[in-house]
Amino acid sequence: MAKYVDGFVIPVPKKNVQAYRRMAQKAGKVWIEFGALEFRECAIDDAKADKMVPFGRAAKAKPSETVFFSWIVYKSRADRQRIMKKVMKDKRIMAMMNPDGMPFDPRRMVYGGFKVMVDL
């Protein structure tokens, strides 16, 4: 069965990185509890991209922000749909969903669901 991935690119104010990390750790535990195979949150470390578009520019990150590249892996798209229904009803997640209390601007998050085409 082919895996399915939700991918995110999120500019986070540098002053909020630790708060974002704590929030992501809590959220990740919920996703894994409900059946996600992997939950990854990665802060940009090398933003140089000769002759390519760097993540920071693509995310329209300000100098005061850092970029996170994140993903969640599921067994399948159907499994992702089942897990997302549970996650979005979970009280721990709902408590983090207030846009005014988030350590980033959720309107600037880039998101998509992806079919895995190569899995080595």
Q: What is the pLDDT of residues 8-59, one digit of tens each?
A: 999 999 999 999 999 999 999 999 999 999 999 999 988 777 788 877 888 8
More confident residue, 52 or 109: 109
Q: How far is CA 76 from CA 4, 26, 29, 65, in A?
A: 5, 23, 19, 33
**4-46+54-115: which CATH topology?**
Alpha-Beta Plaits (3.30.70)
Tokens for 22?
């704590």
67-91 confidence digits (pLDDT tens): 999 999 999 999 999 999 999 999 9
Read off the pLDDT of residues 55-72 as tens digits, 9 standing for 90 and up: 788 888 899 999 999 999
Domain boundaries along the sequence of the chain: 4-46+54-115
Residue 14 per-residue DSSP state = G
pLDDT of residue 1: 61
- The predicted structure's pLDDT at residue 79: 97
- 60: enclosing H helix or E strand: none
Prediction pTM value: 0.91
Does the pLDDT at position 100 exceed 90?
no
